[in-house]
Amino acid sequence: MGFLYCIAVRFASWSSLTLLLANAAPHARSQTSLVTDLNPYPTKPRITFRADGIFKITVFCDLHYGENPWDAWGLQQDVNSTELMNIVLADEKPDYVVLNGDLITGENTFRQNSTRLIDEIVAPLNTAQIPFSSTQGNHDNEPNITHLEEIKREQLVAPLSYTRTAPPGIGGEQGPGTYWVPVYEHIDDPTPKLILWFFDSRGGFSEGDNSTALPDWVDDTVAGWIQSEAEAMDAAWGPAASSRGAIAFVHIPPHAIQALQPDLNSSRDPGLNADLLGSGSTQATTDSANLGKDEPFWDALNEYVPNLHAVFSGHDHGNEWCVREPTKNVIFCFGKHSGYGGYSDSWWGHGVRNIIFSSPDPKGPLQSWIRYENGTINANVTLDASYN
């Protein structure tokens, strides 16, 4: 009773969520179906496909708030980025938003108030009442800020944040932001149709005065976690292969992507291709001694997560393309540099990647494209078995 009351109160503070509950009521199985085993969000509204089967995700990458706050242009960049978010959210009306890393230019922030930038970043999402979650990037780990601090602040100030942390011992040094979010076809379904996976690729620098470079790959402890989570899902919900789709988000691209850039075909793999991948562009490459360290993660993701439609990264601001990674037979896509902060070139522009599921079919195609702030569309591709 107390628990349900608590849910009701939380829902009541958000008019759209109250609507969700009201819609659920006529065909509710029982109130307890809202808290099915394995649902990591018993007190939050379920993420669902629309009644017509569509599910739309808008991805903001590399927002880079807080760059040079001591200069007028630094502050103006954040004003511009917030304006971009407001324009895009109003036009696109996504069902879910992903902030795919480098939310903050952490090397320019101050110890006493660095996470206040999270308040600015989530404000447009709070106003629009859109559920979302984030990955953190290499610029989100710096002497004056950590991934964990950003996550805790987000959880505190954004009621519709679905960002979580990995269990103790998973994720490695300063890599807590690894988790998954279930998406249901209908609000009272016992099992989800789609899993959104999020991974922390770390990088940047450790906290404090004696800061040192952090590993820039998803830690190998995450590989075993992927396997055990996938097994727990199969046990609770039935085999994923026949009943669930998946997509994944990680800020720094897996290293396997780097070798594919020279053979990109701009009509088959459209999108801006202005950022030549080199040291530091993909996981485990800032130090050649670390080559291959992201492989346990990459192997486990592709082995244990069936129906993986695509993997999405940010990090390399001049790239927008998708490509099929042939060794794993999985599609990879860059997002779009969204923030006015962070390195750029005048002609790259700013925008988002949209991802549309037209049905909850776990093997169905996705449509995805880049949308610039001014509304122009680029690199619209169908991501399915025949892609590339």
Ligand X SMILES: *[C@@H]1O[C@H](CO)[C@@H](O)[C@H](O)[C@H]1NC(C)=O
**Contact residues for ligand X (CB under 6 A)?**
69, 73, 76-77, 80, 107, 110-113, 116-117, 143-144, 208-210, 265, 267-268, 340, 349, 367, 369, 372, 374, 376-377, 380
| Closer CB to ligand X, 208 or 278, in the complex | 208
| Closer CB to ligand X, 33 or 86, in the complex | 86
Residue among 216, 128, 115, 221 at smallest CA distance from 178: 221
> How far is 299 from 64, CA to CA, in rounded Å?
30
Q: Which residues 6+ apart lie within 8 Å of 294 measured at CB?
A: 201, 217, 218, 254, 255, 283, 284
| Closer CB to ligand X, 144 or 178, in the complex | 144
CB 217 within 8 A of CB 290: yes
CB of 371 to ligand X, least distance (A): 7
Residue among 85, 95, 152 at smallest CA distance from 122: 85
CB of 285 to ligand X, least distance (A): 24
| Closer CB to ligand X, 4 or 156, in the complex | 156
H/E run at residue 319: none
CB of 275 to ligand X, least distance (A): 15
CB of 310 to ligand X, least distance (A): 15
CB of 74 to ligand X, least distance (A): 8
CB atoms within 10 A of CB 105: 26
What residue is closest to ligand X based on CB? 349
| Closer CB to ligand X, 115 or 136, in the complex | 115
CB of 266 to ligand X, least distance (A): 8
| Closer CB to ligand X, 20 or 274, in the complex | 274
| Closer CB to ligand X, 65 or 162, in the complex | 65
CB atoms within 10 A of CB 171: 24
Six-digit token pair at 147?
């991934």
CB of 314 to ligand X, least distance (A): 17
Strand residues in the chain grouped as ranges (E): 47-48, 55-60, 96-100, 132-135, 179-184, 194-199, 245-250, 308-313, 322-325, 330-334, 351-357, 366-372, 377-383
> How far is 372 from 376, CA to CA, in rounded Å?
5
The identity of residue 36, as a single letter, is T
CB of 380 to ligand X, least distance (A): 4
| Closer CB to ligand X, 13 or 346, in the complex | 346
> How far is 49 from 122, CA to CA, in rounded Å?
23
| Closer CB to ligand X, 267 or 288, in the complex | 267
CB of 244 to ligand X, least distance (A): 25
Residue among 377, 381, 373, 380 at smallest CA distance from 88: 373
DSSP string, 104-121: B-GGG--TTTTTHHHHHH
